């Protein structure tokens, strides 16, 4: 039988990136005790008040079809949320509600690129970015970030990477996997490159609420002059520890959302009304649980960082935001892939090799801050044991 060319384009961009995680799961299923630091799935409980809204609305009959854009009261909640963030009036016509950030990215690139168009990815980048660009025929173009500069944007490298085929720049701040939080000055400079070359800026902001220390979150969407070319994708998956809700959205100009609507409706005509109700409630309220979750991630990062100080050839630093920490294992002489494999085989700790996130992730392992401090301390001791044996 015949298959579409997209099947071949995506064949190498799926589960292979999670091979060590999958191997760990298989071993755990056989009864082995492992420490999983591989997947960014929040381990702390979400705000129960949000769960109560979803339950109450589901029992009240909010189970029918909903509008393709997302219901008006939800988009109004999104408008209030972004009006507070940007300091200017954002309208309900500037959003589409979709099942998670992954779906939001997929439909966005279906709407803005043609086969053969290039999209700049700041490398390291999240493991699915290549796929969402490649699926509609786009060409991912990695732009290297320097680990010794904290994985912050290299503006000259971005400028050099632009060609007549470039259509968009994909940003992610706070970054998964690096934890870098881009400054306003960096976003403005990237915005000037985008303006000069007439490029879209697609900004994945799923970790926007998780800013650590003295860092400040900034989005190019905050700037009125960048609004027409900025597309924000986000969700409550990480901010409110509700990944199973698949509650995400696209934010952009009203004109962009009008053009995106028929593309999104081709894939999914509306989402679950009771989840839209719960998302609107989440956006309109503040929760002690989300504050505690952010504090817990930073505390766990400190435990790991302090625990590997005596590990030969391993360095790390506190993330500026998000829920991940990058271990730099270049000093051990091993690749990130080899270090992660040996860490699984010899110390029963499961991480993600940096190579799963692009060439500039090489020599690193990504650690998800999704276990409590005691377990994180034990993981740090095992990492140190392995490193010192090397």
| pLDDT tens digit sequence for 360-369 | 999 999 999 9
Q: CA-CA distance, 169 to 356, in Å (whole number)?
A: 20
Q: Is residue 280 part of a domain?
A: yes
Give me the pLDDT at residue 317, please: 92
- Clarify whether residues 109 and 199 are in a common domain: yes
Record the pTM. Answer: 0.94
CB of 125 within 8 A of CB of 248?
no
Looking at the predicted structure, is the pLDDT value of residue 13 above 80? no
Q: Is residue 328 part of a domain?
A: yes
- Clarify whether residues 77 and 219 are in a common domain: yes
CB of 170 within 8 A of CB of 151?
no
Q: Is residue 57 part of a domain?
A: no
CB of 178 within 8 A of CB of 264?
no
Q: In terms of residue numbers, what domain contains 86?
A: 64-284
DSSP 70: -
Q: CA-CA distance, 269 to 103, in Å (whole number)?
A: 13
Nearest of 107, 145, 148 to residue 123 by alpha carbon: 145
Cis peptide before 174 (omega within 30 of 0): yes
DSSP 28: H
CATH number (domain holding residue 382): 3.90.1150.10
- Mean of the per-residue pLDDT values of the chain: 95
CB of 127 within 8 A of CB of 17?
yes
- Clarify whether residues 103 and 172 are in a common domain: yes
Give pLDDT tens digits for 259-307.
999 999 988 888 899 999 999 999 999 999 999 999 999 999 999 999 9
Per DSSP, the residues of 114-130 read -TT-EEEEEES--TTHH
Give me the pLDDT at residue 68, please: 87
- Clarify whether residues 301 and 274 are in a common domain: no
- Clarify whether residues 86 and 211 are in a common domain: yes
- Clarify whether residues 227 and 117 are in a common domain: yes
Task: Kindly give the pairing relationship between strand 118-123 and strand 139-144.
Answer: parallel
Largest CA distance in the chain: 60
The percentage of residues in the chain with a pLDDT greater than 90, rounded to a whole number, is 92
The number of helices, as runs of H, and strands, as runs of E, in the chain is 13, 12
- Clarify whether residues 33 and 110 are in a common domain: no
- Clarify whether residues 213 and 172 are in a common domain: yes
SS3 of residue 219 by DSSP: coil
- Quick one: how far is CA 162 from the chain centroid? 24
Domain final residue pick, 228, 262, 284: 284
Would you state the torsion angle of the CA atoms of residues 62, 205, 188, 198, taken in this order, to the nearest 10 degrees? Answer: -70
Looking at the predicted structure, is the pLDDT value of residue 165 above 80? yes
* Domain total of the chain: 2
Give me the pLDDT at residue 376, please: 98
Give pLDDT tens digits for 23-80.
999 999 999 999 999 988 999 999 999 999 999 999 999 999 998 899 999 999 999 9
Q: CA-CA distance, 142 to 148, in Å (whole number)?
A: 18
Q: Mean of the pLDDT values across residues 115-140?
A: 96
- Clarify whether residues 263 and 349 are in a common domain: no
- Clarify whether residues 300 and 209 are in a common domain: no
């Amino acid at each position: 039988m015949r298959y579409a060319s997209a099947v071949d384009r995506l064949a190498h961009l799926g589960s292979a990136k999670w091979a060590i995680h999958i191997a760990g799961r298989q071993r755990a299923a056989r009864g082995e005790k492992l420490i999983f630091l591989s997947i960014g799935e929040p381990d702390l409980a979400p705000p129960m008040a949000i769960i109560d809204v979803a339950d109450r609305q589901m029992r009240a009959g909010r189970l029918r079809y909903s509008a393709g854009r997302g219901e008006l009261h939800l988009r109004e909640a999104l408008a209030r949320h972004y009006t507070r963030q940007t300091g200017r009036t954002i309208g309900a016509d500037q959003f589409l509600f979709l099942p998670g950030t992954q779906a939001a990215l997929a439909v966005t690139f279906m709407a803005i690129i043609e086969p053969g168009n290039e999209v700049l990815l700041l490398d390291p980048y999240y493991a699915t970015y290549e796929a969402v660009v490649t699926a509609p025929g786009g060409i991912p173009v990695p732009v290297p970030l320097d680990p010794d500069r904290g994985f912050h944007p290299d503006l000259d490298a971005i400028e050099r990477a632009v060609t007549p085929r470039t259509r968009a720049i994909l940003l992610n701040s706070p970054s998964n996997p690096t934890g870098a939080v881009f400054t306003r000055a960096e976003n403005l400079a990237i915005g000037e490159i985008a303006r000069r070359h007439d490029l879209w800026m697609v900004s994945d902001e799923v970790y926007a609420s998780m800013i650590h220390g003295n860092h400040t979150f900034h989005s190019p969407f905050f700037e009125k002059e960048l609004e027409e070319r900025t597309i924000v994708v986000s969700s409550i998956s990480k901010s409110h520890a509700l990944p199973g809700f698949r509650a995400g959205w696209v934010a952009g100009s009203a004109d962009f959302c009008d053009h995106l609507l028929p593309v999104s409706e081709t894939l999914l005509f509306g989402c679950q009304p009771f989840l839209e109700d719960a998302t609107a409630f989440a956006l309109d309220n503040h929760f002690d649980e989300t504050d505690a979750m952010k504090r817990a991630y930073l505390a766990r990062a400190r435990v790991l960082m302090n625990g590997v100080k005596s590990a030969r050839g391993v360095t790390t630093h506190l993330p500026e935001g998000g829920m991940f920490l990058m271990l730099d294992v270049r000093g051990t002489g091993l690749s990130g892939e080899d270090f992660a494999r040996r860490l699984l085989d010899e110390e029963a700790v499961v991480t993600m090799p940096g190579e799963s996130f692009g060439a500039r992730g090489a020599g690193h392992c990504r650690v998800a801050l999704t276990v409590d401090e005691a377990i994180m301390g034990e993981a740090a001791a095992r990492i140190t044991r392995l490193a010192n044996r090397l």
